[in-house]
Amino acid sequence: MLLGLLLFPFMLVFIRGDRKVERGIKIKRLWSSILCFFGGYRIDVKFEVDLPQDKPFIFCPNHTSYLDIVLMYLILPHQIAFLGMSEILKWPIINLFFKRGVDIPVYREAGKKAIDCLKPAADELKNGRSLVIFPEGKIPGEVPKLAPFKRGAFILAKENDTPIVPITFFNNWKLFSDHTDLFGTAKPGTAIVKVHQPIYPKDFQDFLSLQRETYRIIDTELQDYGNK
């Protein structure tokens, strides 16, 4: 929060106009770099394939920690928009990115509003911008076990013929647990991440089979890691 306050004047000045998205992402990458430096976090990331930056993807990571969000800006060189829960609109400073169109709020509890958020997300894809969607919707209560996936990311992928890229965060929950828990874990260390090869919607009959395959890939990786 302190770092956010220090950067807030820059956000107000730069997150506006025609280049607000590009500038907003640069500020968040700077914010993420500083947080990782002072937190003592390093990243060991493996890409199964090189991902072109001139094509949009829907990145679908498992969600184990608030550290997941921070690391996404350092892992991916792409222009990305997060789809985040609408509760973020109540968070000071962070909500600036959602209110100014850098990211997209998701109204999980309201059926029509939840569907409506898919339109601006589809528009971003058409404009060549990639999306980051945590398909579990929130950090599950039994981390690192995967929670069931929500359908939004896979409907978007199927309707817009956009590849899904699964991402596995293996140990972020050990480095930084729930910030509301005074006795939770917060320690320096190396975050282990795997960015999988894209999954192409045209290879699947419907969005449900695409959803199941994405779940299978991440779940298999987590189980293999847990058995080491």
pLDDT at 90 over 50: no
CATH code for the domain in which residue 135 is found: 3.40.1130.10
Residue (of 194, 201, 202, 199) closest to 225 by Cα position? 194
* pLDDT (mean) for 192-206: 97
State the average pLDDT for the chain: 81
Q: What is the pLDDT at residue 27?
A: 78
Strand order in the sheet with 41-47: 41-47, 189-195, 164-169, 58-61, 130-132, 80-85, 104-106
Burial class (CB in 10 A: 0-12, 13-18, 19+), 59: buried
Q: What is the pLDDT at residue 204?
A: 96
pLDDT at 67 over 80: yes
Taking a C-beta distance cutoff of 8 angstroms, is the pair 199, 188 a contact?
no
Domain limits at 147? 2-226
Q: What is the pLDDT at residue 116?
A: 66
Instruction: Specify the DSSP class assigned to residue 92.
Output: T
Rounded distance between C-alpha atoms, residue 27 and residue 84, angstroms: 18
* pLDDT (mean) for 70-76: 91
Rounded distance between C-alpha atoms, residue 196 and residue 165, angstroms: 6
Q: Give the least confident one: 27-36, 63-72, 203-212.
A: 27-36
Domain count, the chain: 1
